[in-house]
Amino acid sequence: MDPLGFALENFDAIGSWRDKDGNFPIDSSGSLPDGHSFQNHEELKGILKADKDALALAVTEKLMTYGLGRGLERYDRRAVKEIARRAAANEYKFSSILFEIVRSMPFQMRKGDKSKS
């Protein structure tokens, strides 16, 4: 299960708040792989805000994986770290991460799927 998802369980598919899922009360507590635990989305938000560099790095890794259409390789790590560093310099704006991914060498040099040509 995705630990982050537990904190968001109180929100339904369209973002409305709910205290129950059917007849069952919602438990929005969880713990992250690094051992941090939370009781609700506000506590998770605090954990994530406490280490913005780690969050920017994780978001960059996930978006880069999606953008490249493959898993990250050892040689991609340098670009990922540089993108996350630049995001910090731009107040961690999501748009700056996307812009830097598109500008990165791994993205610019990716190979397309020849079977779709």
pTM of the entire predicted model: 0.76
Per-residue pLDDT tens over the stretch 14-37: 999 999 999 999 999 999 888 999
User: Three-class SS string for 25-84?
Assistant: ECCCCEECCCCCEECCHHHHHHHHHHCHHHHHHHHHHHHHHHHHCCCCCHHHHHHHHHHH
Per-residue pLDDT tens over the stretch 42-101: 999 999 999 999 999 999 999 999 999 999 999 999 999 999 999 999 999 999 999 999
Q: Is residue 117's pLDDT more than 60?
A: no
Q: Is 19 exposed, middle or buried (0-12, 13-18, 19+ CB in 10 A)?
A: exposed
Q: What is the pLDDT of residue 4?
A: 84
Per-residue pLDDT tens over the stretch 100-114: 999 999 999 987 666
Q: What is the pLDDT of residue 115?
A: 62
**Pairwise pLDDT comparison (115 vs 61), residue with the higher score:** 61
Q: What is the pLDDT of residue 111?
A: 77
